[in-house]
Structure 1
Amino acid sequence: MRFAPAAAALSLCLAITASISHAGDVGTPDPQAAALIAQGQAALAAGDAQAAIDAFEAALAVDPAYTPIFINLADAARQQGLQGKAIRYYREALSRDPGNVAAISGEGAALVEKGALEKAKKNLAKLQSLCGDDCPETVALQSSIARGPSPRLAIESKAEDAPASN
């Protein structure tokens, strides 16, 4: 009888650990979600970001555990010029998979587009430590940093930071 509470607590811990490790093993999406992801990627390639977002959101509703959908949503948001929303999606992907180099690189590129070069350089350093200087994600982020922020977004960012003159 003395060991019953300890045994119950131990079995609860093991059950929680097992369920968490099982939830993290999502490697392939649900087939219906995969079809929606493909549809979204085709729409994004055709330049129809809103149709892509609609397809990706539907895929997320079908398979909310599949993390790459957030990266697709972020890419579509960036194409629409919504860097803040893209950063939020990249960060959601990173909260689920902290070593996701595509999310780190995408977030860094969105930060550059928004004018936050120092934060983007931190992402670059993280990428270099994870996959080296020659991995495609590192090279892509390095070229984004070299190009600098989008002039339109940099002007909008400065206007948002300026105090109101009322």
Structure 2
Amino acid sequence: MRLTPVALSVAIAVATMASAGHSQRADDQINPKSLALLKEGQSLTAAARYVEATDALETALAVDPRNRAAYVALAKVAQGQKLPGKATKLYAEALKLEPNDVGALAGQGEAMVERGAVERAKRNLERIKTLCKEPCPQATTLAAAIAKGPPAEVVTAQAATKVPEIKN
């Protein structure tokens, strides 16, 4: 009689845990609808149809928020639209899902260079070199972007925003 409530509680807990684990998908299984929308977004990006590409890619993320490739594709759209700040944030979202994604690290580094954050891009380059045991194309591409430096308008804007030093 005293054990009935305890036994009932244990049975409910076991049933709940079993059903919760059964209904979840593995992390590496992305929803096929999300993958189809990703491909559509990538083809629209290649055609420089950025608004439609953004719509398709955002829908892909709504269908499956674990679709890291959709974040990367959205970041490339943002770079195509000359929005490196937005691209940097989108690459960061992809890196939250997979911190060792060399492509996302390189893309984020390139976007950082476009914003003028060359030192932060160099940190990404060092991380890529650590992850790639042998020379990899992402490291080469990012190193070239760092060597080229930020666009002239970014350098000019940064110089204009510096506060002059006051001498007493």
- Normalising by the smaller structure, the TM-score range is 0.7 to 0.9
TM-score, structure 2 as length reference: 0.76
Aligned length: 148
CA distance in 2, matches of 1:158, 1:43: 37
TM-score, structure 1 as length reference: 0.77
CA distance in 1, matches of 2:155, 2:55: 28
Structure 1 residue 40, shift from structure 2 partner = 0.7
Q: Secondary structure at the match of 1:52?
A: helix
Are 1:58 and 2:73 an aligned pair?
A: no
The gaps in structure 2 that reach 5 residues or longer are 1-5, 164-168
CA distance in 2, matches of 1:37, 1:134: 29
Partner of 1:123: 124
Q: What are the residue-to-residue correspondences of 1:108-147 with 2, within 5 Å?
A: 108-132=109-133, 134-147=135-148
Aligned CA distance change for structure 1 residues 60 and 158 (closer, same or farther; 3 Å): farther
Query: How high is the sequence identity, in percent, across the aligned residues?
Result: 38
The gaps in structure 1 that reach 5 residues or longer are none
The residue type equivalent to 2:79 in the other structure is R
CA distance in 2, matches of 1:39, 1:90: 20
The residue type equivalent to 2:71 in the other structure is F
Aligned CA distance change for structure 1 residues 151 and 58 (closer, same or farther; 3 Å): same
Moved more, 125-134 or 56-65: 125-134
Q: What are the residue-to-residue correspondences of 1:12-31 with 2, within 5 Å?
A: 25-31=26-32
Partner of 1:40: 41
Partner of 2:89: 88
RMSD over aligned CA atoms reads 2.5
Partner of 1:100: 101
Q: Which has the larger radius of gyration?
A: 2
Structure 1 residue 133, shift from structure 2 partner = 5.4
